[in-house]
Amino acid sequence: MEQLLRSFFLFLSRNRMLTKLAKKYGLQFGASRFVAGESVEHAVKVIKELNRNGLDVTLDYLGEFIDDEKEAEEVARHLIRAIEAISTSDVNSQLSLKLTSLGLDISEQAVMQNMKRILEAAEKHQVFVTIDMEDYSRCAKTLAIFKELKSRYDQVGTVLQAYLYRTVSDLEDLQPYKPNLRLVKGAYKESEKVAYPDKNDVDKNFKEIIKMHLLNGNYTAIATHDEKIIEYTKQLVSDHQVSKDLFEFQMLYGIRPELQLNLVREGYRMRVYVPYGTDWYGYFMRRLAERPANVAFVIKGIVKK
Ligand SMILES: Cc1cc2nc3c(=O)[nH]c(=O)nc-3n(C[C@H](O)[C@H](O)[C@H](O)COP(=O)(O)OP(=O)(O)OC[C@H]3O[C@@H](n4cnc5c(N)ncnc54)[C@H](O)[C@@H]3O)c2cc1C
């Protein structure tokens, strides 16, 4: 049943007509539990509140289905405005972005040009930018672009996914760049030709890459809501006396907020991934697919109307 609901929400997340409708009618059905608002001004208010509670932020502008270079340039302009807003409002926030929203599927030249403009602004305002990792078909391209950008700009990092067989070798390959990496389990539906189908193998590989990256002395963001992985990391850093300045935990906005605050109280750096924008619908459906139990929030949202 859970599997069925998951597939259903993933199917809904890709529906273009529903995406358009959602844009027209604004944040609905309890989506504001996971999305900080439709404008950067709303998002800044949410960031301020999180910062007051000791939580750092990475801001994510939600964009889906880019069809041409003009739309990708528009997203880049928007992201530059978001960097400026972070800087002028003096909040503690980084930025996360997806290369597909900047033209990855259109042309390499387009995505590189957009990324360079964004990273010029990021360097100027000292706002760190993480390139999210998308599905397997984009992984090699994303890493190649990251390497090229990282050799020119400091304020950039990316993500590696524990479910992919290739990740340990990617991590080794990235070492010369001393990268700041976010490590995650992986969010996309991948073939077992490229990704571990068994959750236990994903967790084992996750622990392996956390250990490798941390003990190499590189900055590591452990992005998970899984308490077993969090406990593993705490033990690892304590055993190897890794400074708390060298790593952080990350979680999504609206998911396990108590656990987030507990980690802050224990003295760990905790960053919340805060999405905003009018294209909230696909993101919201993917969160429901991850955990169909969250559907209760949707039902409450509808009943409240
Ligand atoms: C900050 C951040 C950035 C990310 N960036 C990327 C990226 O760039 N690319 C990518 O592929 N993936 C990314 N992900 C998603 C990641 O790959 C996983 O799909 C996602 O985090 C779920 O895995 P988990 O590690 O939390 O563990 P899971 O094993 O999925 O969950 C562990 C426990 O966490 C709780 N939980 C998990 N999800 C939810 C939920 N939706 N609602 C309520 N409770 C929940 C449950 O108690 C669950 O038992 C990111 C995740 C985070 C937190």
Question: Which residues make Cβ contacts (< 8 Å) with residue 171, sequence separation at least 6?
Answer: 160, 181, 209, 212, 213
Supply the pLDDT for residue 245.
95
Q: How far is the CA of 290 from the centre of ligand 1 (A)?
A: 8
- The radius of gyration of the chain's CA atoms, rounded to the nearest angstrom, is 19
Query: Does the CA dihedral 119-125-126-128 come out positive or negative?
Result: negative
Give the residue, by CA position, lying nearest to ligand 1 atom 49. Answer: 226
Supply the pLDDT for residue 304.
46
Give the residue, by CA position, lying nearest to ligand 1 atom 3. Answer: 223
Q: How far is the CA of 259 from the centre of ligand 1 (A)?
A: 13
Residue 301 CB burial class (10 angstroms; 0-12, 13-18, ≥19): middle
Distances (CA, A) of 17 to 21, 24, 157, 158, 224: 6, 11, 34, 31, 31
At CA 174, angle to CA 171 and CA 179, rounded to 5?
Answer: 100
Supply the pLDDT for residue 1.
65
CB 144 within 8 A of CB 174: no
What is the maximum alpha-carbon separation in the chain?
Answer: 54
Residues with CB under 6 A from ligand 1: 132-133, 159, 161, 182, 184-188, 223-226, 250-252, 255-256, 273, 287, 290-291, 294
Walk along the chain (305 residues) and give the pLDDT tens digit of each residue.
Answer: 667 766 766 666 666 666 666 666 655 566 788 899 889 999 999 999 999 999 999 999 997 678 899 999 999 999 999 999 999 999 999 999 999 999 999 999 999 999 999 999 999 999 999 999 999 999 999 999 999 999 999 999 999 999 999 999 999 999 999 999 999 999 888 999 999 999 999 999 999 999 999 999 999 999 999 999 999 999 999 999 999 999 999 999 999 999 999 999 999 999 999 999 987 777 877 787 777 666 665 655 444 43
